[in-house]
Amino acid sequence: MTDHSKLDREGDIAADYLEELLDIADLDGDIEIGVEADRAAVAIVADDGGDRRLKRLIGRKGEALDSLQELTRLVVQQETGERSRLMLDILGYRDNHRQHIAEIARKAIAEVEETGEPYALRPMNPFERKVVHDVVAQAGLVSDSSGMGQGRHVVISLSEDDFEDEYYETPDSADEVDDLDSPDTVDSADEVVSADSADEVVEGADE
């Protein structure tokens, strides 16, 4: 099976799971499947004026979306036996958020180019930091990550010489980038929450 075929299968498994979830939660939405940046990409979409309750699956600051993405990845892992890096989006939330973070990065880049001084952005999650690193690289500048846990953030500079070993830490690890805005990883695929209890994700988003 080719890599593309594997990703297509991941998308199909995820789509089946999400369709069942939508049925259980009595939510209307269409599911789109694709491949982006060498990973399966699944999106729940709705026509203009569609079921606004789908926003409940996004939650505050995308927290419910992150949880649902992790559950979907684990369902895929349970079926394929391999770790999934699938990306889930709902109503274009993640794409819009990516554009917002990219704009923040561009403004910081302009500040660095004007002052010549390193610029530290606010703490961000792995998904957001990955977006910043990509934008900075495209602009020809350098970026590094500093801090621990929820305080981890990106520092943008004109040159790698600006990063002092005793202060700045290494860039985000590959594992962090793979997680891309996911909550803490569940230790085993056996801990996957079935679609029958998916109502909890929807209910939790309202809290």
Please give the mean pLDDT across all residues of the chain: 82
Q: Give the residue extent of every domain in the chain.
A: 3-91, 95-157
List CB contacts of 53: < 8 A, sequence separation 6 or more.
27
- Domain 3-91: assigned CATH number: 3.30.300.20
pLDDT in tens, 84-99: 999 999 999 999 999 9
pLDDT in tens, 141-155: 999 999 999 899 999
The answer to whether domain 3-91 and domain 95-157 are alike in fold is no
User: In 3D, which of 71, 167, 88, 72 has the Cα closest to residue 127?
Assistant: 88
Query: Confidence band (pLDDT; 50, 70, 90) for 199?
Result: low
Q: What is the pTM of this model?
A: 0.69
The structural architecture, per CATH, of the domain 95-157 is 2-Layer Sandwich (3.30)
State the pairing for strand pair 119-120/142-146. Answer: unpaired
Q: Enter the DSSP assignment of 36.
A: E
Identify whether the C-beta of residue 129 lies closer than 8 Å to the C-beta of residue 150: no
